[in-house]
Amino acid sequence: MPDSLLPLYPSLSPNRHGMLAVDEVHTIYWEECGNPDGIPVIFLHGGPGAGLSPQHRRFFDPQRYRVILFDQRGAGKSTPLGEWRNNTTQLLIDDIERLRSNFGIAQWLVFGGSWGSTLALAYGQAHPEACLGFVLRGIFLCTKAEIDWFIEGVRWFYPELYEEFAAPIPAAERGDLLAAYVKRILSDDPDVYWPAARAWSRFEGRRVYLMPQPEDTPNDALDLGVGRLESHYMAELGFFEDDQLIRDMHRIAHLPAVIVQGRYDAICPPLSAYRLHQAWPGSQLQMIPDAGHGALERGIASALVDATRRFQPGRGFI
């Protein structure tokens, strides 16, 4: 969709940005936008490994929000790109807390979509005292059933994509495509990992939107970040215990949340959003009837912008 038709705030440049070394391996990119005296919000991108886009700044009124965004370990401008070692959910949570401390923020709104919703829930359950509330999109609880859907179940809707994804894998390994791809994507040999990472990224990217979109130009950073980190995290079930995010909902059940979900999301199907809403009595679920998974589909983008407006003082939540 052309930028002029998106229901977002105007394009915005960071007030400041930088790099933060978080351990001996990883250095993460961060940026701060909007009003330094505004409502603090942390933006958590998807993937894992997808990184930031300038569009992500535009869900927030720059006069009212102080927006903190960062590329998670191994993603976007963070270095090393695609590095899966020293890369776990708990370490990402620690990175978020380090950013909060560095920015001197007591509490902030947590905004995340897809894997960003997973990380938002995990962060909130680890640090509920740091959260004002949540705006979540395209819910992914990182359960085995959802991972099985991502790899295998989706062939009910996209059989041609599944066939293309499986084709490079020898027949003897196709009984566990996730393991087959992890072995290749996490290889140290570029001739092995590049084709596998590109195939993984294409397998996901072509089913993000409800309506077909023009093919994107090749993006090596996105392909490597998404391919390596998604496969790494899925192989480890997100570093969660079984259904942990639903089990631990009592830790954040007192906080407000808006859940935005595309009815025809072929990556994160609506059942997960519904389960989360059922476990979170104070949450509001908005099922967008004409949308898939993409944050920039018009109905989803409009609902997300509306949610950030409602978290402003006097608008209902804070």
Q: Which of 71, 95, 114, 232 is catalytic?
A: 114
Report DSSP letters for the chain, one per residue.
Answer: --GGGS-SPPP---SEEEEEE-SSS-EEEEEEEE-TTSEEEEEE-STTTT---GGGGGGS-TTTEEEEEEPPTTSTTSBSTT--TT--HHHHHHHHHHHHHHHT-S-EEEEEETHHHHHHHHHHHH-GGGEEEEEEES-----HHHHHHHHTGGGGT-HHHHHHHHTTS-GGGGGGHHHHHHHHHT-S-HHHHHHHHHHHHHHHHTTSSSS--PPPPP-HHHHHHHHHHHHHHHHTGGG--TTHHHHTGGGTTTS-EEEEEETT-SSS-HHHHHHHHHT-TTEEEEEETT--S-TTSHHHHHHHHHHHHHTSTTSS--
Does residue 265 carry a catalytic annotation? yes
Q: Which of 26, 232, 277, 293 is catalytic?
A: 293
Does residue 293 carry a catalytic annotation? yes
Q: Which of 26, 265, 272, 283 is catalytic?
A: 265
Q: Which residues are known catalytic residues?
A: 114, 265, 293
